[in-house]
């Protein structure tokens, strides 16, 4: 059994369910920030510029919830709720009111936090850029008629689609800024483990190692397939942080004492260590998720969030 596992998928994945159609546009590229100074969100005043004709402006009251004074309309909330229910019905899933409410609240709060940070950081697309982005999306799905048919099929008006579209574009811009900070390399360790179910057996193995037996040979006895090889990993990648803390305190050639976890009893050997080792795709994905998750937790703790629905 390997120590390494991706942590829980960041809650933003839920946005793919709610706004998968919107995110098609996000994948075509990020709207560049204008050279003018960023507009700052103020309560009751959206910083997104009104796009003439192409992107209508929706009424922002009554609200379902507010984040730092910025609101999500009850009408938009209900549209997304119906889409979520339809998606669940299509896949044969049953969702209770409490679960639906929690998912919707999580989605809107997180996307609103990201969007607000984007505007504060300088995201300020022009009217024409937003209109072009919307037009490109319509063309991608088959043109204006196909787009309108999709709106009808999903019970969505263009007015509320555009609200989500604007917010998602800004949120994606901020996500990109956060994930870019992860980089392509990191301090990493190449480790090998011996994992057994019994504390007594683990203690016996540890004493054998202390007596001079080769770690790799012993690891191969307990895991003939991988020989206990955990590969390279950075901080924040191991599924068990208490083990990660111990191995990152070691140098090549050193191994831990017996460490107990829900998976059993581990002894881990550090084989190699590098300050700037290239990240694997899986490791970078994990660090990206972790960076986004930590960012959101910090923002939520520092924000004023009010859920207005019962």
pLDDT tens digits for range 73-123? 888 888 888 878 877 778 888 888 888 899 999 999 999 999 999 999 999
For residues 58 and 158, which has the higher predicted lDDT (pLDDT)? 158
What integer is the mean pLDDT of 169-187? 94
> What is residue 33's predicted lDDT score, i.e. its pLDDT?
31
The reply to whether 291 falls in a domain is: no
Query: The domain spanning residue 232 has which CATH number?
Result: 3.10.50.40
User: How many angstroms separate the CA atoms of 129 and 27, rounded?
Assistant: 15
**Count of domains for the chain:** 2
pLDDT band at 194 (very low <50, low <70, confident <90, very high): very high
Rounded to whole angstroms, what are the CA distances from 163 to 37, 80, 129, 256, 295?
23, 11, 16, 53, 24
- Both 235 and 264 in a single domain? yes
Measured between its terminal Cα atoms, the distance across the chain in Å is: 44
Q: Mean pLDDT, the chain, as a whole number?
A: 81
Give domain status of residue 289, yes or no: no
User: Is 210 domain-assigned?
Assistant: yes
Is pLDDT at 254 greater than 70 in this prediction? yes
Are 51 and 153 in a shared domain?
Answer: yes
Token duo for residue 121: 């950081």
71/114 same-domain check: yes
Residue 164: the pLDDT is 84
């679960």: which residue's tokens?
Answer: 99
Residue 150 and residue 217 share a domain = no
The 8-class DSSP code of residue 3 comes to S
Look at residue 86 in the predicted model and tell me its pLDDT.
79
Range of the domain at 109: 11-181+296-307
Radius of gyration for the alpha carbons in the chain, expressed in angstroms and rounded: 25
Q: Are residues 157 and 207 in the same domain?
A: no
Q: Is residue 5 part of a domain?
A: no
- The region of weakest confidence among 9-18, 161-170, 188-197, 256-265 is 9-18
Judgement on whether residues 190 and 174 belong to the same structural domain of the protein: no
pLDDT at 65 > cutoff 60: yes
| Residue 131, domain member (yes or no) | yes
- Domain for residue 3, yes or no? no
- Write the CATH number for 158: 1.10.4030
Say yes or no: 135 and 246 in one domain.
no
* pLDDT(41) > 80: no
pTM of this structure: 0.71
Shared domain for 168 and 75, answered yes or no, is: yes
Q: Are residues 75 and 159 in the same domain?
A: yes
Asked if residue 285 belongs to a domain, the reply is no
- Residues 134, 268 within the same domain: no
User: What per-residue confidence (pLDDT) applies to 303?
Assistant: 96
User: What is the pairing mode between strands 305-307 and 63-67?
Assistant: antiparallel
Across the range 231-236, mean pLDDT stands at: 94
Identify the pLDDT of residue 153. 79
Residues 274 and 151 placed together within one structural domain of the fold: no
User: Is there a single domain that holds both residue 56 and residue 173?
Assistant: yes
Residue 162 inside a domain? The answer is yes
């Amino acid at each position: 059994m390997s120590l390494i596992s991706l942590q829980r998928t960041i809650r933003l994945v839920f946005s793919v369910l709610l706004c998968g159609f919107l995110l098609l546009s996000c994948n075509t590229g990020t709207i560049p920030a204008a050279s003018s100074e960023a507009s700052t969100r103020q309560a009751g005043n959206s910083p997104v510029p009104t796009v003439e004709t192409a992107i209508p402006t929706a009424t922002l009251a009554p609200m379902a919830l507010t984040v730092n004074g910025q609101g999500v309309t009850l009408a938009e909330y209900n549209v997304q709720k119906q889409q979520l229910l339809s998606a669940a019905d299509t896949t044969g899933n049953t969702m209770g009111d409490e679960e639906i409410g929690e998912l919707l609240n999580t989605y809107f709060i997180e996307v609103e936090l990201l969007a607000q940070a984007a505007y504060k950081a300088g995201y300020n697309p022009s009217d024409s850029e937003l209109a072009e982005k919307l037009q490109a999306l319509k063309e991608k799905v088959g043109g204006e008629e196909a787009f309108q048919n999709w709106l009808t099929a999903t019970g969505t008006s263009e007015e509320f689609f555009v609200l989500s579209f604007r917010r998602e574009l800004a949120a994606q811009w901020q996500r990109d800024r956060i994930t870019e900070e992860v980089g392509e390399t990191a301090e990493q360790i190449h480790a090998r483990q011996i994992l057994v179910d019994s504390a007594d057996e683990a203690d016996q193995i540890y004493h054998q190692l202390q007596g001079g037996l080769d770690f790799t040979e012993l690891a191969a006895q307990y895991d003939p397939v991988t020989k206990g090889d955990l590969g390279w990993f950075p901080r924040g990648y191991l599924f068990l942080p208490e083990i990660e803390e111990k191995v990152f305190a070691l140098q090549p050639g050193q191994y831990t004492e017996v460490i107990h976890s829900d998976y059993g009893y581990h002894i881990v050997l550090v084989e190699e260590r590098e300050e700037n080792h290239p990240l694997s795709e899986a490791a970078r994905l994990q660090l990206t998720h972790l960076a986004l998750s930590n960012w959101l937790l910090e923002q939520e703790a520092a924000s004023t969030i009010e859920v207005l629905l019962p």
